[in-house]
Structure 1
Amino acid sequence: MPVLSRADDSVVGRWWWSVDRVMLTALLLLVGLGYVLALAATPATNLSLNDPNTIVMIRQIVYLLTAGILMVGVSMLDLHYVKLAALATGVVFLVLTGFTLVHGVVVDGGRRWIALPGFTIQPSEFLKPALIIATAWLLAERRRTPGFPGMFAAIGLNSLVVLILLRQPDVGSTALVLATFFVQLFLDGLNAFFVGLGVAGFGAAGFAAFELIAHVHKRVMLFLHPTKDKAYQALTALSAFANGGLWGRGPGEGQVKHYLPDARADFVFAVAGEEFGMFLCLGIIALYAVIVLRGFMRVLRETDPFVALASAGLLTSFGLQAFINMASSLSMIPTKGMTLPFLSYGGSAVLATGLHMGFLLALTRRRTHAERVTDGLFGLGMQDRAV
C-alpha cells in the first residue's frame, strides 16, 4: 500500500488513519495463519482437482480471502451504516435461521444448515454479530429516549434467537449468545441481584443440560473420565501436542489430521501444535489476546454507550469462542464443536467472522468532527470522537 498522508480525505485515507492498525494487523495475521493451517490440516493430496482434499483446501483459501476483503470493507463503514448493515443482516439471517427448523439439513443430529447449489450455509453464524449490535442499540437507546422499552425488547429478541437455537439444537451457540448478552447487560449497569441471579441461572442451565441432553452428558463424562470412557478425540488431540513438542514435526508431517475426523475444524489447534509446535500455539494465543485486550482498552475510553456495548459484545463473543475451542483441544474443558475464528475450516464460520470483526473495527475507529453521525433513520444520534 502506498504511503497515505494524514491530509488524504479519501475513504481509504480516512479509514487508514482512524482504524486500529494494531488490531487490524493481528486479525490479518490470523487470516494468514488460517491459510497455512488450511494446507497443514489437509491430508496428503496430489493437488488434482479430482481429489476431494484439494477441493476442500481451495475452498478454504477462497473463504479466507473473501473474509479478509469483507472485514476490511465493513470496517470502512460509518456508525450509522454499521447499524443499517447489522439490521439488514439480522433480519435476513433471523428468517433463515428460523427456516432451518423447517427445511434445514441435518448434520450430526443438528438441523443448522441450509443447502444451496454447491454448498451449505449456517445462518446462525451471521445472525450472532447482528444480534449483538441490535442489542447494544436497544440498551443504549433506552437511556437516550425516555420511555423506550429497550431492555424488554433486547430480552425478547435474544430469547427468540435462543429458542430457535435450542430447537436446532445448538447448545454451544446458545451458551455463547446468552453469555454475550449477559456481559452486555452487566456493562449496561445490571443490578447486582440480577447479576447473581444470572450466574446462578447459568449454573442451573448447565446442570439441566448435563442431565437432560444426551450428547452433553456424554461429553462431560468423557472429560471427567477420559481413560475410563475412552475419550478418543480428546486423547488423540493431546497426543498431537505431545508429538509436536516445542518446534513441531514440520509442515505436512503431522498425523492427527489422518485420525481425527474434525481435525481441520474443531481440532485445528491440535494440528498446529503437532506440525508447528508449542511456540506457534503460544503465538496464536497471543494474537487472540492482543485483539481482545486492545479492543477492551478502546471500550474503556469510549463515551458512546452504543459503541461501548456493541464493541464489548463483539469482543466477548470472539474471545469466548477462541477460548472454548483451544481449551477443549487441550482437554481443559469438555470437547465442544465450536470453530477457532479464522483458523478452522468452514465457509459460514470464516465469512461470519470476517463480518463480525469488520463491525468491530468500524465501531472502534477514531473519528474526526467532520465525520459526525446524525440521528438519521431510527433516531440514533452518536457523539463525536476526536482523533
Structure 2
Amino acid sequence: MLFSAGIVKGAQALLTKQVIWVGLSLLMGAYATYMNLEWIRRRAWWIFGLCMLGLILTLVPGIGIKVNGAQRWIGLGPLRVQPSEFAKIGLVLVLASYFSSNHRENKTFFHGFLIPSILIGTCCGLILLQPDFGTSFLCGAVAATMMFQAGTSLRWLLPVAGLAITAFSILVYFDPVRIRRVTSFLDVEANANDSAYQLWQGMLAFGVGGLNGVGLGMGRQQVHFLPEAHTDFIFPVIGEELGLFFTLTIVACFLLLFGCVFLRLRQSPRLFEYLLAMGAILFVSLQAIINMGVVTGSMPTKGMSLPFISYGGSNLMVSFLLLGFVINVLRSLDTPKVLLPREI
C-alpha cells in the first residue's frame, strides 16, 4: 500500500526506508513488551527531560530542520527525527509515574492539578512553538484524560480546558494558514481548487473506490492529484484501491483495540501501569481517529499520520513503543506481585 501511495515520490526509495523503520520499530516494540516497568518508572523524569530537550533543540538554528514553515525535526546524519513524537512517550511516563507516587494527594489542587498542569503546559507549549497545533492538542487531550483517571477534580479540569480551547481558537483565528484550513473545511467544494484541494482529492478517492475498490496498485488519485498520499492522506488511497469494506475494517480494528485494552485495564491493581497503558492506547487510538476524521472531511485539515500505516519513522517507532507498553501492562496483570507500600 505504501509502495502504491508513494509512487510519485519514488516508491522504491520510500519502501526501502520504511522497511528499515519497520524492522527497528518492531525491535523497539518487542523490547518495550518485556521491559521492567518498575525500572522505567524510576527513570520517567529523566526520559521526560530528554524529550523536552529534543523539543528545544528543534528551535535552535542549525540543529532544527524547517519544512513547509514548521521546525519540527532534528537532523541525525541522513535521518530526520521528530522529537514531538517521542514527547508523547515522555509525557505518558512522567504523568503515570508522578500520579502513582503521589496517589494519596491526587485530589488536591497543588499535587493533583497544578504540578501536572505545569508538566503538560511545558510539553504542549514547546510543541506549539514549532508550530504544531495538532500534536499539541493531542498531547493536551490525552494528558487531561490521564489526570481525570488519576483522580483530578473536574472543577479544575473543566475551566482550564475551556480556557485552553479559547486560547487555541484565538491562535488559529490570527494565523492566516490555519484559519483558511478551518474555513475551507466548512465548505470543501467551494474551495476544491484552493485551500481544500488536498481534502477534496482525498474525498474523490473514497468515491472512486466505492465498496470494493479499484484494486491494489490501480489507484490514480495519488499519481496525478493527491498530495502527501504516502503520509497524512494514505487512508483515502486505501479507500480508493481496497474500498469501503477495507477502510471500515481498519476503523473497527482501532476501535476494537481501544475497547479491549480499556476493559482489560479495569483489572489493573497498580495506578502506574493503568495510567501508562491508558495514556499509550489513547495516543494511538485518538491519533488514528483524528487522521481518519480529517481525510474524510469530518475535521479541519491537520497533518497527522495514521499510526502503523503512514510513511514516517518517528511516528512508526513511537506507535510500536506505545503498543509495546500496553502489551507489557496487560501481561503483568496475570503475574502475581507484591505491591510497594506507596502503591497499596
Scaled by the length of structure 1, the TM-score of the pair is 0.81
2:203 is equivalent to residue 238 of structure 1:
yes
Shift of 1:150: 6.0
Match of 1:130 in 2: 90
Shift of 1:382: 5.2
Match of 2:51 in 1: 93
2:176 is equivalent to residue 211 of structure 1:
no
Maintained 8 Å contact 2:3/2:14: no
Alignment of 1:1-387 (within 5 A): 37-43=1-7, 52-84=10-42, 86-102=44-60, 103-144=63-104, 149=111, 151-230=113-192, 231-258=196-223, 259-365=225-331, 366-369=333-336, 372=338
Maintained 8 Å contact 1:263/1:271: yes
Match of 1:25 in 2: none
Shift of 1:374: 5.5
- Cα distance 1:133–1:372, how it changes in 2: closer, same or farther (>3 A)? same
CA distance in 2 between partners of 1:316 and 1:108 (Å) = 28
Match of 1:16 in 2: none
Q: CA RMSD in A?
A: 2.3
Maintained 8 Å contact 1:110/1:170: yes
Count residues with an aligned counterpart.
Answer: 335
Shift of 1:332: 0.7
- State the identity as a percent: 29
CA distance in 1 between partners of 2:176 and 2:281 (Å) = 31
SS at match of 2:269: coil
User: Cα deviation per residue 1:21-64 (whole Å; 9 max; x = unaligned)?
Assistant: xxxxxxxxxxxxxxxx22231317xxxxxx94311111112212
Shift of 1:85: 6.1
SS at match of 1:301: coil
Maintained 8 Å contact 1:41/1:271: yes
Maintained 8 Å contact 2:6/2:222: yes
Runs of at least 5 residues in structure 2 that lack an aligned partner in the other structure: none
- Cα distance 1:83–1:244, how it changes in 2: closer, same or farther (>3 A)? same
Q: Which amino acid aligns with 2:219?
A: G
Shift of 1:165: 0.8
Shift of 1:107: 0.7
CA distance in 2 between partners of 1:76 and 1:382 (Å) = 22
Maintained 8 Å contact 2:3/2:11: no
SS at match of 2:74: strand
CA distance in 2 between partners of 1:282 and 1:195 (Å) = 34
Shift of 1:333: 0.8
Q: Which amino acid aligns with 2:335?
A: T
CA distance in 2 between partners of 1:164 and 1:101 (Å) = 9
Runs of at least 5 residues in structure 1 that lack an aligned partner in the other structure: 1-36, 45-50, 376-380
Q: Which amino acid aligns with 1:174?
A: S
